[in-house]
Structure 1
Amino acid sequence: MTDIFQNRILLISIFSCFLAQFLKIFTGKEKKFDFKRIIISGGMPSSHSSFVTCLSMLVGFDRGFASTEFAMTAVFAIIVMYDASGVRRAVGKQAELLNQIVDDFFHGKFDQHEKLKELVGHTPKEVLLGALLGIFIGIIMS
């Protein structure tokens, strides 16, 4: 079990994910420092994209970019990034619309409902910058 802590590729990939999460506290729409953003999904940059592209880059450097292992991690990264900018983004837009419908319906008089989380997915720009961060971390840490 302690071998997992010796897995350099895994540890660097996790570092890339946490670095992207940390950067979110400086990149909110309000343009102010918001420490709560360190635990959210969605936002700039995409920590999911950073995580999987860093993993893919490190596997490519370690096993070769023509290896089966690199191909698997690259496909995995593409699926994760597509999901982050497509499906999860659509869920966030639906949550925003449903929250507006509830607000309009009750005219602010009924505050018993729990608002849906609107920041779920990523814009293509957020995914791209997360991916670039992961590639950068993968390159400098390899």
Structure 2
Amino acid sequence: MPSSHSSLCSSVSTAVAMQQGLGSPLFAICVCFSVIVMYDAMGIRRHAGLQAEVLNVVAAELLEGHPKAERKLKEVLGHTPRQVYAGLLLGILVGLLFPVAPY
């Protein structure tokens, strides 16, 4: 499943590039924002999900029989690099296929 966050950011960046040009300050801001969002989706949130998996195992072993042992942390967080890349390509495609009306 492609990352919807990456798709949104890259489609907005593509639309701004088509409207304002690659040298515009707004395009530079969009690209910076897109990179931050994609880094977060692929790196920080993904690693939080991996940590949640480990914590769930540790909690299950340490809190066996305790009511709190039933509660599990959400493990499916973030995206794989492939999902982020697919979202990037999908967003660029959407930005190119659906031109923005001039304002």
TM-score after normalising by structure 2: 0.87
Aligned-residue identity in percent: 45
Q: Which runs of 5+ in 2 are unaligned?
A: none
Distance 1:134 1:63 in 2: 18
Cα RMSD (Å): 1.4
Q: Which amino acid aligns with 1:129?
A: A
User: Are 2:95 and 1:138 equivalent residues in the alignment?
Assistant: yes
Q: Which amino acid aligns with 1:128?
A: Y
Match of 1:128 among 85, 88, 100: 85
- Choose between structure 1 and 2 for higher RCO, CA contacts under 8 A separated by at least 6 residues: 2
After TM superposition, the structure 1 = structure 2 runs for residues 104-115 of structure 1, keeping only pairs within 5 Å, are 104-107=61-64, 109-112=65-68, 113-115=70-72
Distance 1:91 1:131 in 2: 22
**Runs (4+) of structure 1 moved beyond 4 Å?**
none
TM-score after normalising by structure 1: 0.64
After TM superposition, the structure 1 = structure 2 runs for residues 43-122 of structure 1, keeping only pairs within 5 Å, are 44-107=1-64, 109-112=65-68, 113-122=70-79
Q: Which runs of 5+ in 1 are unaligned?
A: 1-43
Give 3-state SS (helix, strand or coil) of 1:117's partner. coil
Distance 2:74 2:38 in 1: 20
